[in-house]
Homo-oligomer: A and B are copies of this chain.
């Protein structure tokens, strides 16, 4: 019988495999690969990173130095920011349905 994973394990796996899939054979993403991943996986941020200035600003917030590639740790900095934002929103507005917070 196949092992049944918990929701949390599956979520963790998704985050890791999304980055891994976007990076292909490399351990890191080029800024262009990062941009593509954002446009498909984080559409709410796609507009922010669709020009060089916005992209560079987001990369800088993730700790990516100018001209460098995006590591998993950099990506995780972004994920952490989004999760922390969402958690604090959720805690402030308990009546809001969780799924709405992603918009």
Contact = CB atoms under 8 A, between A and B. Distances in A.
B83 A76 contact: yes
Interface residues of A, number: 41
Interface in A20-78: 20, 25, 27, 40-43, 72-73, 76
Number of identical monomers bound together in the oligomeric complex: 2
Interface string A88-103: 0011001000110111
B98 A17 contact: yes
A16 B76 contact: no
A84 to B, nearest CB: 7
Contact of A8 (B14, B72, B103): B14
Contacts of A79: 12
Contact of A7 (B7, B41, B84): B41
Nearest to A26: B91
Nearest to A103: B3
A39 to B, nearest CB: 10
